[in-house]
């Protein structure tokens, strides 16, 4: 369809409402809509995606200016009214392509369809007031409190500043706003990265080598749909950020290795472990959810990988179900459930749901999971612990807890000879972490997701 600007906004309103008030996941909501409506023009699709993710990303900031602009400070806004206002304020402050009158008028038209007349008047009045003060508000935004400036709730903002100091926290938080090309990994079993770059360019896709991961490529799709590319259909690549690629690189899988990948879905690290071993390692990939293990199976089939078997099981009970796996594996990799604070640039839902209580509640689970994972590592074998967060409580402190709890059975493994030089040269703090078997990736320094990897070896 070629939708008019109002209908695209109404679609966006409905999708946003599902995320805010029905606990739907943003990527699934939008992907499902676009899959069911392939007739949506590329122009409408681009605008819908920009508004949808823009509003979600800046929700904390938008609410700050909405609440500040309310005449009645005690007024409890109707849920639909708040979503419409968030959309309108985002267009006024953060969309460079939408005229002020269009931002106001289309918001009012949506309000007329969705909410009562009194709320319509509120939408109209508040947005017109903000529009008249747009330049002053933008100037205020640049000097606003950390949580407003970087669209993080007060609790998470406080944690960022506590962990990194204000200046470093600002650098990291700002990087999550930056748009980056899509990161993909060339299938080492089928094609070399340079050959894949040439192949993609023939399909009118901009492509260039990644920054540090050996098989990584950065692509810009333009108007192409990724799944429609022949290179994708042929299994020449998989979408994966460079930081989690390094988990497989650091694991150093070899032919004939017995490898266990826990919490493995959707299979990015599983498939790379297989590729790096020449598909000659024997790999068991485990995830709790059957539907998610099917995602691994789909990737295995598309990429042509044979020596991986998938299992659906609870990691905490796996030793009970598979006692024969105890002390069996050369490599065990576990990517534990975490706060996801390394993915703020990709998954704006995390900005809505992360808080101090939810983050702290993960620590006992992470500690238990790394201990359970270690039961499968053979003497001399490797344990890889990773997360998609930059929270030291979930990262370095979990590793320290584990090493103390296992009382000399495991030791850290120096990463200095494994990591690409550009990741550690000139950075003494990172070099020291690498000597202690750990690395944290940051969006500003490394132009990738925030991610943590630790490597340990079983001694006895």
Of 434, 432, 435, 439, nearest to 453 by C-alpha is 439
Q: Do 100 and 16 fall into the same domain?
A: yes
Clarify whether residues 202 and 333 are in a common domain: no
**187 and 104 in one domain?**
no
pLDDT single digits (tens) 136-174 = 999 999 999 999 999 999 999 999 999 999 999 999 999
Structural domain of residue 186, as residue ranges? 182-239
Residue appearing with tokens 């500003």? 444
pLDDT value of position 2? 40
Same domain, 233 and 284: no
- Looking at the structure, tell me whether residues 40 and 61 fall in a common domain: yes
Q: Are residues 230 and 276 in the same domain?
A: no
Q: Rounded CA gap, 57 and 348, in Å? A: 5
Looking at 97, 129, 144, the residue that finishes a domain is 144
Question: Is the same domain home to 140 and 189?
Answer: no
Which residues belong to the active site? 388
Q: How many domains does the chain have?
A: 4
Residues 345 and 268: their CA atoms lie apart, in Å, by 19
Residue 393 is part of a domain; what is its CATH number?
Answer: 3.40.50.150
CATH code, domain carrying 228: 3.30.70.1170
State the Cα angle at 338 between 335 and 339, rounded to 5°: 150
Closest CA to 145 of 114, 180, 170, 116: 170
Residues 388 and 256 in one domain: yes
| Same domain as 137, residue 169 | no
* Domain termination residue (choose one: 239, 268, 284): 239
Q: What CATH number has the domain bearing residue 23?
A: 1.10.940.10
Distances (CA, A) of 191 to 52, 83, 194, 232, 304: 36, 46, 8, 12, 12
Q: Which residues in 269-304 are b (16+ Cβ under 10 Å) and which e?
A: bbbbbbbbbebebbbbbbbbeeebbebbeebbebbe
In this structure, the answer to whether residues 328 and 271 fall within a common structural domain is yes
In whole angstroms, give the CA distance from residue 14 to residue 19: 9
pLDDT attached to residue 96: 86
Query: Taking all residues of the chain, what is their mean pLDDT, rounded to a whole number?
Result: 95
Q: Strand 282-287 relative to strand 308-312: parallel, antiparallel, unpaired? A: parallel
Is the pTM of the predicted complex or chain greater than 0.75?
Answer: yes
Q: What is the pLDDT along the chain (460 residues), one digit of tens a residue?
A: 344 666 899 999 999 999 999 988 998 999 899 888 888 888 888 899 999 999 999 999 999 999 999 877 657 789 999 999 999 999 999 998 899 999 999 999 999 999 999 889 999 999 999 999 999 999 999 999 999 999 999 999 999 999 999 999 999 999 999 999 999 999 999 999 999 999 999 999 999 999 999 999 999 998 888 999 999 999 999 999 999 999 999 999 999 999 999 999 999 999 999 999 999 999 999 999 999 999 999 999 999 999 999 999 999 999 999 999 999 999 999 999 999 999 999 999 999 999 999 999 999 999 999 999 999 999 999 999 999 999 999 999 999 999 999 999 999 999 999 999 999 988 999 999 999 999 999 999 999 999 999 999 999 8
Both 280 and 368 in a single domain?
Answer: yes
Q: Express each pLDDT in 15-64 by its tens digit.
A: 999 999 998 899 899 989 988 888 888 888 889 999 999 999 999 999 99
Specify the pLDDT at position 405: 98
Are 90 and 163 found together in one domain? no
């Amino acid at each position: 369809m070629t939708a008019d600007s109002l209908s695209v906004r109404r679609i966006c309103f409905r999708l946003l409402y599902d995320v805010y008030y029905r606990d739907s996941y943003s990527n699934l909501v939008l992907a499902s809509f676009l899959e069911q409506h392939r007739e949506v023009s590329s122009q409408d699709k681009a605008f819908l995606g920009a508004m949808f993710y823009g509003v979600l990303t800046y929700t904390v900031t938008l609410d700050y200016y909405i609440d500040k602009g309310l005449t009645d400070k005690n007024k409890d806004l109707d849920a639909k009214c708040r979503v419409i206002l968030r959309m309108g304020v985002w267009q006024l402050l953060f969309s460079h392509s939408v005229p002020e009158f269009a931002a106001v008028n289309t918001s009012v038209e949506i309000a007329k369809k969705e909410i009562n007349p009194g709320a319509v008047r509120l939408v109209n009045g508040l947005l017109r007031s903000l529009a008249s003060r747009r330049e002053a508000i933008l100037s205020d935004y640049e000097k606003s409190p950390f949580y407003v400036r970087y669209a993080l709730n007060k609790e998470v903002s406080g944690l960022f500043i506590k962990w990194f100091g204000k200046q470093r926290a600002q650098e990291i938080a700002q990087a999550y706003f930056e748009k980056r090309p899509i990161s993909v990994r060339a299938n080492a079993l089928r094609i070399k990265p340079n050959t894949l770059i040439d192949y993609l360019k023939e399909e009118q896709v901009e492509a260039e080598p990644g920054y540090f991961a050996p098989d990584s490529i950065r692509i810009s799709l333009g108007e192409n749909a990724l799944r429609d590319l022949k290179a994708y259909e042929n299994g020449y690549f998989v979408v994966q950020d460079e930081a989690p690629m390094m988990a497989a690189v650091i694991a150093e899988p070899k032919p004939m290795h017995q490898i266990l990948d826990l919490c493995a879905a959707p299979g990015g690290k599983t498939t790379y472990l297989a590729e790096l071993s020449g598909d000659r390692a024997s790999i068991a990939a485990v995830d709790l959810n059957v539907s998610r293990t099917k995602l691994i199976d789909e990737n295995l089939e598309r990429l042509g990988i044979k020596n991986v078997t998938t299992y659906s099981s609870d990691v905490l009970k796996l030793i009970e179900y598979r006692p024969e796996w105890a002390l069996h594996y050369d490599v065990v990799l576990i990517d534990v459930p975490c706060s996801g604070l390394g993915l703020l640039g990709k998954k704006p839902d995390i900005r809505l749901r992360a808080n101090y209580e939810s983050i702290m509640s993960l620590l006992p689970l992470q500690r238990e999971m790394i201990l359970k994972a270690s039961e499968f590592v053979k003497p001399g074998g490797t344990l890889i612990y990773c997360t998609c967060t930059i929270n030291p409580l979930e990262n370095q402190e979990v590793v320290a807890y584990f090493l103390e709890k296992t009382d000399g059975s495991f030791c850290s493994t120096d990463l200095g000879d494994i990591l690409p030089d550009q990741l550690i040269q000139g950075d003494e703090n990172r070099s020291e972490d690498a000597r202690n078997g750990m690395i944290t990736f940051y969006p500003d320094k490394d132009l990738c997701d925030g991610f943590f990897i630790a490597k340990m070896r079983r001694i006895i």
